[in-house]
């Protein structure tokens, strides 16, 4: 429906700051992501229902896309754009001529003021800006924080691997201390332990916060380690050590000292079948 609507409407006004109606399919997210996708975002369904019933009260902010003619880049309002697309309706937007810096600052000022942007999403946004080459002064302005706070955001974002973040999502109720705890447990865990935690079927159907708790709990204990083999020495009648025996849960190893009794190793190896047969006969 959105595509049919767009084909039947005139092009939006060219004036900077004009409020226009756009085909949501023509509105692309900012190149610097500030949201962490959540596969269990139940709140979005309620948001769509609200817009269906009450309409879109607040317009989004866009600029003409600098690299794709006829398209627009969203400074803020991605959820409103998604909702309009889901409803097959145009999205109301303020069209502004924004520089790259102005876009990032507007994106940060709007999105970071929202209560539903989680700690890890703020950290994720800060790191994405830094990786995009945005100057630190601009990041500070966009985030509305001081340098120590920005350093904390970047440290947390750097410590959480992308697969872990993707499996958990935004975790809106989880703050910096628990993310740091998770980062420490990831660092201490073996890679296969982390992979097992992320692939656990128990994560299915859980909310983002519940997935965080499940993964944090799965990494709470260090992976089980094999017990060191129990070792003992064997002496002859004169007290000379000629063999070492190591016992473990999956077997026993016998090491013979050739210097103590030359040739005994070959003798024993040749007679192992006889020893085994005698043992079996004794069991019968």
Q: What is the pLDDT of residues 236-266, one digit of tens each?
A: 888 889 888 888 877 888 898 888 888 888 8
Cα–Cα dist 54/48, whole Å? 10
Task: Give residue 143's pLDDT.
Answer: 87
User: 250 CB contacts (<8 Å, ≥6 apart)?
Assistant: none
The rounded percent of the chain whose pLDDT value lies above 90 is 46
Starting at the earlier edge strand, list the strands of the sheet with 27-28: 18-22, 91-95, 60-64, 72-76, 27-28
Helix intervals (H) in the chain:
2-8, 42-54, 78-87, 100-111, 119-131, 136-143, 147-159, 162-168, 176-188, 191-198, 208-218, 264-283
Q: Is the pLDDT of residue 221 over 70?
A: no
Task: Give residue 194's pLDDT.
Answer: 93
- pTM of full prediction above 0.85: no
What pairing do the DSSP bridges indicate for beta strands 72-76 and 251-256? unpaired
Q: Is the pLDDT of residue 180 over 90?
A: yes
61-88 confidence digits (pLDDT tens): 999 999 999 999 999 888 899 999 999 9
User: 210 CB contacts (<8 Å, ≥6 apart)?
Assistant: none
Cα–Cα dist 38/172, whole Å? 11
């Amino acid at each position: 429906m959105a595509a049919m609507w767009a084909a039947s409407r005139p092009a939006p006004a060219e004036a900077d700051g004009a409020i226009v109606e756009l085909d949501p399919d023509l509105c692309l997210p900012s190149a610097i992501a500030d949201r962490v996708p959540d596969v269990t975002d139940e709140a979005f369904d309620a948001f769509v229902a609200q817009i269906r019933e009450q309409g879109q009260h607040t317009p989004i902010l866009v600029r003409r896309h600098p690299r794709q003619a006829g398209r627009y880049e969203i400074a803020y309002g991605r959820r409103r754009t998604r909702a309009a697309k889901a409803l097959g309706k145009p999205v109301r937007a303020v069209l502004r001529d924004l520089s790259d810096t102005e876009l990032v600052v507007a994106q940060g000022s709007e999105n970071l003021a929202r209560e539903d942007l989680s700690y890890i999403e703020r950290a994720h946004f800060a790191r994405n800006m830094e990786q995009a080459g945005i100057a630190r002064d601009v990041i500070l302005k966009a985030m509305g924080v001081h340098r120590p706070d920005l350093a904390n955001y970047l440290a947390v974002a750097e410590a959480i691997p992308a697969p872990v973040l993707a499996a958990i999502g935004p975790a809106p109720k989880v703050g910096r201390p628990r993310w740091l705890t998770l980062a420490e447990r990831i660092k201490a865990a073996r890679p296969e332990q982390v992979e097992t935690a992320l692939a656990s079927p128990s994560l299915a159907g859980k909310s983002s916060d519940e997935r965080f708790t499940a993964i944090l709990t799965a990494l709470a204990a260090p992976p089980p380690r094999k017990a060191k083999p129990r070792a003992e020495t064997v002496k002859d009648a004169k007290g000379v050590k000629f063999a070492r025996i190591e016992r473990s849960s999956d077997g026993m190893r016998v090491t013979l000292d050739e210097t103590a009794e030359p040739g005994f190793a070959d003798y024993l190896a040749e007679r192992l079948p006889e020893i085994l047969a005698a043992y079996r006969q004794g069991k019968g």
